[in-house]
Structure 1
């Protein structure tokens, strides 16, 4: 009995020991499989990374950034202030998103440069930031600014040249426009006298040697690129002049014995005399009749131009004594014919009024006593006097 009992215990012990052996072996196999699986997974991921050229890493990084940004939405869409004053901002070729972000912060457009970088990376805008000149303001959020900086052509400058303004007045408007990256002196240096101009344009309009471009800065409203220079502005305006007047007018005025420079000179006087465009052809007829008859033009605006702003205005009131005392070839009370050049930059209506005057026998005109801005016209000096108030 004792022997049998001991044998049973031995059997039980043997079974238990063998069971523990199987369990250890299974655990080792399981751990081994995990290592093998991990190795295979690592190799697979590495292989995929090689094939995808880092796309998976970028995806993971972008996902983490997006997760981080999800808690900062208010910062992304809240502008820095309510001041909408334009701020001149430039992205240079080769600027990184980090450089752009730092410059935005220095310009007072954003508070957090790293947040800007994270946002453009998460949205894929980091590769779309475009070199160029922009006009931004503090009412724009990080989201607004990031998208704005992907298209430099979206920033334009609206600039208007008024009818009848002279070059110096255009220069003053340039100084008043805070978006332009140059001043009046820069502008006048490329349109003023003694400045070489495009020979094709010079020949076409009959521009005398060393003459300024007074008269050819065509009045209009221009949409200028943000990086506009004085030279670009000049060329844009001259091109607009040629487009506006068209080709036929050159043929027609040549048949009458005029150059475009002469017509623009006359048109500039018409522009300064008239209040209403419908009078341009009639006033043009008066001056054309006087030129043919050899009578002085006696145009007050030419005397104003000759004073050259010495009285604190480019177009001051003049007195009867000025007719005789303002010594200048622009004074058409003293000198016959057209003045040396245009006295202002006329509209297309005034140019056509000079090129295609009404058929009249008028030689005189004066402001109507009704103070309406219209004029009374006369053939004889006696009629002219009778039109007085």
Structure 2
């Protein structure tokens, strides 16, 4: 092969290599391209993320506990990454920075308070940190809880900035009740036992998403707003024979504690309404439990009771709530009823029942009795 031919072959090889290189480089650029990033930087970051794909999508740990995390104004992506690493929320700060820079999230990371979990991946945490407004504190209360039980849940939630005692000071006896709400539901200025009213029974049970930094007053207002949202005007219109909503909720709180199976709630409500109208004492066991509270057993606010407890509450602060010792309704609600219990009072079953006992089957159902069956009720056994 002469010199001219050799040069031609070499030129062809060089051009071929250049073509392959350009083609491969162009494909690599297209694969890694990210608007706003230098092409070389984009390729570097994309290669880094591809090599670390498993680590990127593996949470830092298995603890599902929600943790408070704060981003301060002016914090850079590197600072945020270092703080996340220190809090055990990520396991690789450099990988976090690479991710947010490549996906152009570094300028979208917001200052604020966030609630994160160790079980979240880097992409999930990065996206969460771009929206401070969506950060919320999960909070849940259940039907049939009294104020002290809500306070206990507050004390068990490290994300709240106040204690259960702080909340009780706002919603308990002597706390400030919003005037419009007080007038609407008919809360009296002074209870029948001479004590100041509280919001027992009116803090609507449910699941809430609270904003960071919420105050006890704001939590009170959110729960009252939920009560108003669910207990609509039809409930006021249907309230039986002139009962105020305060009386409805008071009776519904008893029904809530008695009706384990809520399909029985309208019948149980009819029993208490029949006794109330006669009138005769309600003789409701939950009111005795409320009066006892945790004085017997510090681990529960709803202790088991015996017949000896019906008339053995002397000296207890809440003995006036016992419907075995006192005529009429108790001074106020004993717990927070759910909507089915409230509806059962305003739309009760039409019955001639005045008594009920728990049945013999292990299913929480009840057996009901008329006035003529009083002796059957008194002598009822499962033997």
RMSD over aligned Cα atoms: 2.8
1:295 aligned to 2:280? yes
Which deviates more, 356-365 or 69-78? Answer: 69-78
Q: Which residue pairs with 2:264 in the alignment?
A: 279
Contact 2:151-2:165 at 8 Å conserved across structures: yes
Q: Which residue pairs with 1:358 in the alignment?
A: 349
1:355 positional shift: 1.8
1:385 aligned to 2:378? yes
Runs of at least 5 residues in structure 2 that lack an aligned partner in the other structure = 1-34, 190-195
Q: 1:319 to 1:125 in 2, by over 3 A?
A: same
Q: Which residue pairs with 1:4 in the alignment?
A: none
Q: 1:111 to 1:386 in 2, by over 3 A?
A: closer
Runs of at least 5 residues in structure 1 that lack an aligned partner in the other structure = 1-57
Q: Which residue pairs with 2:45 in the alignment?
A: 69
Q: Distance in 2 between matches of 1:135 and 1:378?
A: 53
Contact 1:266-1:354 at 8 Å conserved across structures: yes
1:194 to 162, 174, 177: 174
Which deviates more, 146-155 or 341-350? Answer: 146-155
1:348 positional shift: 1.0
Contact 1:205-1:260 at 8 Å conserved across structures: yes
Q: Which residue pairs with 2:295 in the alignment?
A: 310
Q: Which residue pairs with 1:106 in the alignment?
A: 86
Contact 2:56-2:95 at 8 Å conserved across structures: no
The DSSP-based 3-state class of the residue aligned with 2:321 is coil
The DSSP-based 3-state class of the residue aligned with 2:242 is coil
Q: Which residue pairs with 2:147 in the alignment?
A: 167
1:117 positional shift: 4.5
Q: Which residue pairs with 2:103 in the alignment?
A: 123
1:212 to 170, 183, 198: 198
Q: Distance in 2 between matches of 1:139 and 1:215?
A: 37
Which deviates more, 352-361 or 112-121? Answer: 112-121
1:374 aligned to 2:365? yes
Please, what TM-score do these two structures have when normalized by structure 2?
0.76
Q: Distance in 1 between matches of 2:346 and 2:173?
A: 25
* 1:71-86 → structure 2 map (5 Å cutoff): 72-73=48-49, 74=51, 77=56, 79=58, 81-85=60-64, 86=66
Q: Which residue pairs with 2:244 in the alignment?
A: 259
Q: Distance in 1 between matches of 2:180 and 2:273?
A: 28
2:253 to 250, 268, 285: 268
1:80 positional shift: 6.5
The DSSP-based 3-state class of the residue aligned with 1:234 is helix
Q: Distance in 1 between matches of 2:363 and 2:121?
A: 51
Q: 1:94 to 1:197 in 2, by over 3 A?
A: farther
Structure (1/2) with the larger helix percentage: 1
Contact 1:65-1:118 at 8 Å conserved across structures: no
1:263 positional shift: 0.8
1:127 positional shift: 2.3
Please, what TM-score do these two structures have when normalized by structure 1?
0.75
* 1:10-21 → structure 2 map (5 Å cutoff): none
Q: Which residue pairs with 2:235 in the alignment?
A: 249
1:326 positional shift: 0.6
Contact 2:293-2:303 at 8 Å conserved across structures: no
1:99 positional shift: 4.1
Which deviates more, 91-100 or 296-305? Answer: 91-100
Q: Distance in 2 between matches of 1:369 and 1:143?
A: 56
Q: Distance in 2 between matches of 1:59 and 1:293?
A: 80
Q: Distance in 1 between matches of 2:45 and 2:199?
A: 56
The DSSP-based 3-state class of the residue aligned with 1:325 is coil
Contact 1:261-1:341 at 8 Å conserved across structures: yes
Contact 1:90-1:133 at 8 Å conserved across structures: yes
Q: Distance in 1 between matches of 2:262 and 2:160?
A: 31
Q: What do the CA deviations read for 1:268-293 (whole angstroms, capped 9, x no partner)?
A: 11111112112211111111121222
